[in-house]
Structure 1
């Protein structure tokens, strides 16, 4: 049985990939169902995420990732969101040295190469798997 540090509040940057078909809300509900895990979600608002200017988008993502303990990226929808995902991964790994957790919604599906290449860990879409990875990787 895993014991959680109930005093710690983790800041989780939710990649723009979580905007796909309400999966972000599903993720938040799953994580909130674990009483002893406390977190604060961080993600771009819709208006900022739709910014036409790539530099504005890049700076907005940087501002959110800077304060995150870990980045959660949904595997399997990369092609639809590559404009954001590339920026998120570059910022997380190359500039801000933040851990990236790829979350695999379907076990049989392979994660996109770019996510597999940059993720510190890939886990299944299950709250305890995600929380364990967050706690192990978000210690920085």
Structure 2
């Protein structure tokens, strides 16, 4: 009888250890998946800033306030504050298509600041995660 109780205890202990290992492994997998998703989103944000430089002239700084992906369409939507070389800022949204590396639709809030053209000089980019770099 005592041998049977020991075997049952051993089986219960093995099951508990297995469950703990599965939970820990699942958590690690989910964390890595979220990290990879955040890295991919940051890469597309950087791509979109380059597209902004190819669309608007005289940009000094771009701050991405929000950047989201529509999982159904693969289309990205951004809310940004763009500052020109005169220190004037405008807050607007734009769509971005990563496959073609082009802006989709964008809102014109101030035509004096959002001048069409190309910015060739380096600009300061502040991404939605707070990371900053010169592009």
Shorter-chain TM-score range? under 0.3
TM-score (norm 1): 0.25
Structure of larger gyration radius: 2
Larger proportion of helix = 1
Larger proportion of strand = 2
